Amino acid sequence: AAGVIQSPRHLIKEKRETATLKCYPIPRHDTVYWYQQGPGQDPQFLISFYEKMQSDKGSIPDRFSAQQFSDYHSELNMSSLELGDSALYFCASRSAGAGGELFFGEGSRLTVL
Amino acid sequence: AQKVTQAQTEISVVEKEDVTLDCVYETRDTTYYLFWYKQPPSGELVFLIRRNSFDEQNEISGRYSWNFQKSTSSFNFTITASQVVDSAVYFCALSDFKAAGNKLTFGGGTRVLVKP
pLDDT digits (tens, 9 = 90+) for A8-64: 999 999 999 999 999 999 998 888 999 999 999 999 999 999 889 998 899 899 999
Q: Which of A30, A5, A12, A33 shows the shortest CA–CA distance to A83?
A: A12
Spatial separation of the C-alpha atoms in residues B33 and B3, rounded to whole Å: 13
Residue at A6: amino acid letter:
Q
**B41 interface with A at CB cutoff 8 Å:** no
Q: To probe the interface with B, which of A37, A45, A102 has the most B CB atoms within 10 Å?
A: A102
Contact state of A99 with B100 under an 8 Å Cβ cutoff: no
Distance from CA of B63 to the nearest CA of A (A): 20
Lowest mean pLDDT among A45-54, A68-77, B51-60: B51-60
Within a 13 Å sphere around the CA of B67, how many CA atoms are in the beta-carbon half?
Answer: 12
Residue A100 has pLDDT above 80, yes or no: no
Position B10 scores a pLDDT of: 97
- Out of B43, B97, B109, the one facing A42 most closely (by C-beta) is B109
pLDDT (tens digit, 9 = 90+) per residue, B104-114?
899 999 999 99
